[in-house]
Amino acid sequence: MYDLTGFQRDLLYVIAGLDDPHGLAIKDELEDYYEKEIHHGRLYPNLDTLVEKGLVEKSQRDRRTNEYTTTRRGTREIKARAEWEAGYINHDG
């Protein structure tokens, strides 16, 4: 997870939070969060990177639409990141 960009990490979180989303559903969620348009040239190469890293699995819904799910490794990475963040955010220091 440490080697992901912030955008890739956000992609991973969105995919984990939705039920087998397709690319446009992921794009819509991120556009709501970032409050700006996410271009296909940014979205799909980053999705492919997550697939290559073994964090996300891509499957075909139909001939024109792919859907994405987090792998077990992707889910473990999200949980580990949340625990790491909580160590700083919830710190009483």
**17-65 pLDDT, tens per residue?**
999 899 999 999 999 999 999 999 999 999 999 999 999 999 998 888 8
pLDDT exceeds cutoff 60 at 89: yes
Fold held by 6-89: Arc Repressor Mutant, subunit A (1.10.10)
Q: Supply the pLDDT for residue 63.
A: 85
pLDDT exceeds cutoff 80 at 93: no
Type of residue found at 11: L
Is the CA virtual torsion 35, 39, 40, 43 positive or negative? negative
pLDDT exceeds cutoff 90 at 90: no
CB atoms within 10 A of CB 58: 13
